[in-house]
Copies of this chain bind each other. A is one copy, B any other.
Amino acid sequence: MKVSVGVSNRHVHLTEETYKELFDGIDLEIVKELTQPGQFASNLKLTIKTEKSSIENVRVLGPLRKYNQVEISKTDAFKLGLNPPVRDSGDLEGSSPITLEYNGKEVYLDKGCIIPTRHIHINPDEVEKFGLTGVKEVSVKVGGEKGGIFNHVRIKSANMSFFELHIDTDDANSFMIKQGDIVEIINEN
């Protein structure tokens, strides 16, 4: 079972309310379609900040969601002085507080910052075809001089999903892989 790699850099999802508060008057436009249908990199970038530090030019992904969510790597977390939990999208209870800033306007989130769980987007037909029915997580094997195995890779099945492994920049850089590389799913269940 082979799957292609998608590397997620740090990014932000916004509610309509937060979007209006920060970017009032600036349209949310599609700059680049992402591999998952309907998802896109927008024209908007903001700064994420804590008392310790900040990171500029963090991309807002669209479309708008029902929750605000800031997805960062452990490397980013050290820079910001945060210790965010490893979570699936939308599972935000107890996640780290963080401040969003654009052009002098700030929105404080009392939760919403996470390190995303490694996961594979897949559709129900592929779940069945690959014998993954009922499987919640798998491992992924990567070749190369700094290769190895990622454990705890969540299976995220949804209609219309594009079959792809999503990892963060720390994972990609540790194993020296990049967007579009092909790796191997290991089903230990």
Contact = CB atoms under 8 A, between A and B. Distances in A.
Interface string A82-108: 000010000000000000000000000
A173 B174 contact: yes
A68 interface: no
A151 B152 CA distance: 17
A54 interface: no
B75 A173 contact: yes
Is the contact region of chain A dominated by helix, strand, or loop, or is it mixed?
Answer: mixed
A69 interface: no
A23 interface: no
Nearest to A149: B149
A116 B173 CA distance: 13
A180 interface: no
Contacts of A147: 151-152
A52 interface: no
Contact of A73 (B117, B168, B173): B173
A148 B171 CA distance: 11
Interface string A122-153: 00000000000000000100000111111110
Nearest to A86: B145
9 contacts: A75-B170, A115-B176, A117-B145, A118-B146, A147-B151, A147-B152, A148-B150, A149-B151, A174-B174
Given A74-B176, A145-B152, A146-B152, 17 more contacts: A74-B174, A75-B169, A75-B170, A75-B173, A86-B176, A115-B146, A115-B176, A118-B146, A139-B148, A148-B148, A148-B150, A149-B149, A149-B151, A170-B170, A170-B174, A174-B174, A174-B175
